[in-house]
Amino acid sequence: MTGDPAYDSRSYARVDANTLAMTLKKGGKVVGKGRIAVSADGKTRTVTLTMTDAMGKKMSSTTVYDKQ
């Protein structure tokens, strides 16, 4: 990844048919983890993320996307 000051690499691992686990790294060090889950009907995607910024501040977020 280029252009994002918070992390420089992102990797994904399949958890099951509807879920991916995500790991964010900066300089080889893990700075965040999250999950992307799609509902069984495919109409909702939920992204959860927990990370630490360069200043050591922790943040977390949950974002829900609904298909129109």
The domain segmentation of the chain, as residue ranges, is: 9-66
Question: Can you tell me the distance from the alpha carbon of 42 to that of 3, in angstroms, rounded to the nearest whole number?
Answer: 31
pLDDT of 10 reads 92
Structural Rg of the chain based on CA atoms: 13
Question: Can you tell me the distance from the alpha carbon of 59 to that of 33, in angstroms, rounded to the nearest whole number?
Answer: 11
pLDDT of 13 reads 98
Give the pLDDT means over successive 10-residue stretches in the chain (68 positions). 78 97 92 96 96 86 94
pLDDT of 52 reads 86
Place of tokens 């509902």: 39
pLDDT of 1 reads 61
Place of tokens 């298909």: 67
